[in-house]
Structure 1
């Protein structure tokens, strides 16, 4: 069994990432185009042999908008804070009765403190929060909180498990 010196050399803080699509306008465009496509599939009938199905053009527009959405995705990476930094951050944002922290100030401070890519100040987090919706804000908060509070274990992957099983059977 390794001694503590060897364990400390191998130990790394927990990291976690979350990817957000920042093109809210493109999301609305995809939804609008998909509604048009759905409406068309119920009503369009060709009026001649040369008639082109308008669904093809809509499908291409949907694909282009989805591609623009993918290009707008940003990965936010977080790293667990050390015990002292975590404790100091909690102390700087005390909660009210029965609360461990102030729910209005602590999330932005934690996101800022734990963010490693991109690095953000609390003011930049506040500015970002003004353009994100509640679900996106929750995704950032959850990633920053969980990287600091969840134990690290080897995650189970259903997708990889299926591939591992098929590889094992092929031997």
Structure 2
């Protein structure tokens, strides 16, 4: 085994997070899907059938899927090298009040600032400038808290879990 050759080919783990920026479409899809389920049941229970209504709802679901896909931002994250991760931890120390670590910071960093900084540092695609990042996660950001958590959790997991072989 040639260590130098192995090191040349080494790559940090990556993950992708898909974020639909049109949550209204997701809600509409769920509503139409519920109607579709009811229409299928009605069509199955009826001798006359209502295949036309089911087909129309099928078409609407397909159109909504296309709209959601077109409105989805796929973010590619890459784990940081260990020293850069440690540097980021050092930049976001836990808060200490009266010689006691703030409960939210018990993992060893400021939980209010570290996770977003980590997600930003790990984001490799698309290239997001400061304005784009703020539009996503800032005060008037377009992502829900759940979507921000999904992005931050993916970045944290990439950096804190080992790389297991699938065999």
Deviation at 1:69, TM superposition (A): 1.2
- Say whether the 8 Å CA contact 1:108–1:122 is kept in structure 2: no
Q: Is 1:58 aligned with 2:63?
A: no
2:111 pairs with 1:103: yes
Secondary structure of the residue aligned to 1:155 is coil
1:167 counterpart residue number: none
Q: Which residue of 2 is the match for residue 135 of structure 1?
A: 146
- Flag the structure with larger Rg: 1
Partner SS for 1:16: strand
1:10-89 aligned at under 5 Å gives the runs: 10-42=9-41, 53-89=52-88
| 3-state SS of paired residue (2:16) | strand
RMSD of aligned residue pairs (Cα, Å): 2.6
Residues 141-171 of structure 1 show CA distances to partners (whole Å, capped at 9, x for unaligned) of: 1221122122123336xxxxxxxxxxxxxxx
> Are 2:109 and 1:117 equivalent residues in the alignment?
no
Aligned residues: 153
Q: CA deviation at 1:60?
A: 0.9
CA deviation profile, 1:48-83 (whole Å, cap 9, x unmatched): x9x863222122111111121122222211112122
SS at match of 1:53: helix
C-alpha separation in 1, matches of 2:84 and 2:70: 35
Distance 1:140 1:155, change over 3 A: farther
Helix, strand or coil for the counterpart of 2:18? strand
Structure 1: gaps of 5 or more residues: 157-171
Native 8 Å contact 1:14 1:147 kept in 2: yes
Give the match for residue 98 of structure 2.
none
| More moved, 126-135 vs 79-88 | 126-135
Q: Assess, with a 3 A threshold, how the Cα gap between structure 1 residues 40 and 101 changes in structure 2: closer, same or farther.
A: same
SS at match of 2:133: helix
